[in-house]
């Protein structure tokens, strides 16, 4: 009796079915993995960062002239307390940006030296609450709980006294970045933690 290397007519449909099933499983797996990767990439890009918040912040010049109250934040990319507050700051901005300017000034940018001096910034994050005409009403320094920020922003929008203004409580990062601009006269660099005049 000779054995043929050919399949019997009955086994051919089962081989075709097995191949189709395998190809179907591979196709479904590819679709599922692609969907997971695309959704994961979208979610990753939606996570706010200090850089993305700063890039979408209202320019200081606009905030001082548009007639809205302003929440001004002095920050640095390396500031761990600033980074820890990013998610809360993004949610606050999403909720209040139609009624309030959110301004972010990077303390490592020499352009903001006059503001650093004017607001006596010696630790970050440093928040300043400005009325619609740009006058400072209160400040707070360091990492702030979102409920305190919310209460202050609600009061700022409604022109009421800020319940938690002028607070210097909370976690903060000392300014320790190198400063390269030459200062005029007897003015101290606010990032030096020297005595304020």
Specify the 3-state DSSP secondary structure of 180. Answer: coil
Domain that holds residue 29: 11-46
Percentage of the chain lying above the pLDDT 90 cut: 58
- The strand pair at 123-124 and 126-130 is best described as unpaired
Residue 6 lies inside a defined structural domain of this protein: no
* Residue 168 pLDDT level (bands cut at 50, 70, 90): very low
* Residue 47 in tokens: 């996570």
Nearest Cα residue to 68 out of 101, 38, 35, 22:
101
Out of 66-70, 71-75, 97-101, 181-185, least confident range: 181-185
Task: Please give the backbone phi and psi of residue 139, each rounded to the nearest 5 degrees, phi first.
Answer: -145, 160
Prediction pTM value: 0.64
* Residue 139 in tokens: 């400040």
Query: What pLDDT is stored for residue 8 in this prediction?
Result: 53
Query: What pLDDT is stored for residue 170 in this prediction?
Result: 43
Instruction: Check whether residue 37 and residue 118 sit in a common domain.
Output: no
| Residue 113 belongs to domain with CATH number | 3.40.30.10
Q: Is 82 a catalytic residue?
A: yes
Instruction: Check whether residue 26 and residue 95 sit in a common domain.
Output: no
Instruction: Check whether residue 55 and residue 27 sit in a common domain.
Output: no
Q: Which residues pair with 129 in a beta bridge?
A: 71, 138
* Residue 14 pLDDT level (bands cut at 50, 70, 90): confident
Query: What pLDDT is stored for residue 10 in this prediction?
Result: 57
Instruction: Check whether residue 31 and residue 63 sit in a common domain.
Output: no
For residues 125-150, average pLDDT: 94
User: What is the full DSSP assignment across 98-158?
Assistant: TTSEEEEEETT-GGGHHHHHHTT--EESEEEEE-TTS-EEEEEES---HHHHHHHHHHHHT
Out of 25-29, 77-81, 113-117, least confident range: 25-29
Query: What pLDDT is stored for residue 26 in this prediction?
Result: 87
Instruction: Check whether residue 134 and residue 41 sit in a common domain.
Output: no
Q: Is 79 a catalytic residue?
A: yes
Instruction: Check whether residue 61 and residue 157 sit in a common domain.
Output: yes
* Residue 86 in tokens: 């990013």
Measure the CA–CA gap between 143 and 65, rounded to whole angstroms.
28
- The strand pair at 173-174 and 126-130 is best described as unpaired
Catalytic option among 63, 79, 90, 121: 79
Catalytic option among 53, 58, 82, 175: 82
Instruction: Check whether residue 114 and residue 168 sit in a common domain.
Output: yes
């Amino acid at each position: 009796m000779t054995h043929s290397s050919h399949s019997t007519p009955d086994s051919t449909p089962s081989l075709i079915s097995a191949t189709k099933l395998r190809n179907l499983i591979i196709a479904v797996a590819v679709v599922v993995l692609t969907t997971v990767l695309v959704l994961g990439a979208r979610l990753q890009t939606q996570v706010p960062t200090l850089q993305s918040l700063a890039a979408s912040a209202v320019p200081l010049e606009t905030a001082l002239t548009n007639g809205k109250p302003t929440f001004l934040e002095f920050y640095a990319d390396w500031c761990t307390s600033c980074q820890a507050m990013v998610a809360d700051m993004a949610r606050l901005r999403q909720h209040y940006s139609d009624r309030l300017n959110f301004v972010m000034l990077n303390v490592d940018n020499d352009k903001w030296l006059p503001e650093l001096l004017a607001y006596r910034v010696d630790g970050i994050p440093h928040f300043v609450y400005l009325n619609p005409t740009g006058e400072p009403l209160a400040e707070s320094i360091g990492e702030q709980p979102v409920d305190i920020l919310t209460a202050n922003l609600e009061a700022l929008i409604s022109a009421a006294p800020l319940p938690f203004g002028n607070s210097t409580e909370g976690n903060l990062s000392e300014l320790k970045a190198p400063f390269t601009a030459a200062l005029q006269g007897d003015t101290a660099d606010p990032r030096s933690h020297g005595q304020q005049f």
